[in-house]
Amino acid sequence: MAIRRLQEKKIVVTEMDHHWKALKACADSLKELSCLLPSEPIQNLPWSLSEERLKGVQSIVFRKRQNISEMKTHTRACYLQVLSGAENINFLQSASSEDFDSDSDLETD
């Protein structure tokens, strides 16, 4: 019975690790996308966005980055609370402050 519980805990911790990595990958993708967006509309390009549309896209990316950042913070707190005392929470303990978007990292235009 004890072995079965340990196996189940291992499965849960593995799933939590996958979830954490998925959140981090999403945050990294959004950060990269926000870096690719120009701060001002580029003229004379057939695919360029108007200033209003560019601000709309920037706003959407900013909001999604905020949401993911909040989800990561909440998830980390929940996982640490659930797993307190567990030995196998390295993926959360090793999460550095750079894994969490700071307010200065989420710029608004």
* Model confidence pLDDT, tens digit, residues 15-71: 999 999 999 999 999 999 988 888 777 666 556 677 788 888 889 999 999 999 999
Distance separating alpha carbons of residues 56 and 59, to the nearest angstrom: 5
Per the structure, the count of domains in the chain is 1
Report yes or no on 86 lying in a domain.
Answer: yes
The residue that leads in pLDDT, 95 or 104, is 95
pLDDT beyond 90 at 74: yes
Residue burial 59-84, b: 16+ Cβ < 10 Å; e: rest: eebbebbeebbeebeeebeebeeebe
Report yes or no on 19 lying in a domain.
Answer: no
Average pLDDT rounded to a whole number, residues 72-77: 92
Rounded to two decimals, the pTM is 0.66
Domain that holds residue 67: 53-92
**Rg of the chain over all Cα atoms, to the nearest angstrom:** 19
For helices 2-36 and 51-83, give the axis angle rounded to 10 degrees.
Answer: 160
User: Cβ distance 55 to 34 under 8 Å?
Assistant: no
Report yes or no on 79 lying in a domain.
Answer: yes
Spacing of C-alpha 40 from chain mean position: 26
Lowest model confidence (mean pLDDT) among 7-16, 34-43, 90-99: 90-99
Report yes or no on 36 lying in a domain.
Answer: no
What is the length of the chain? 109
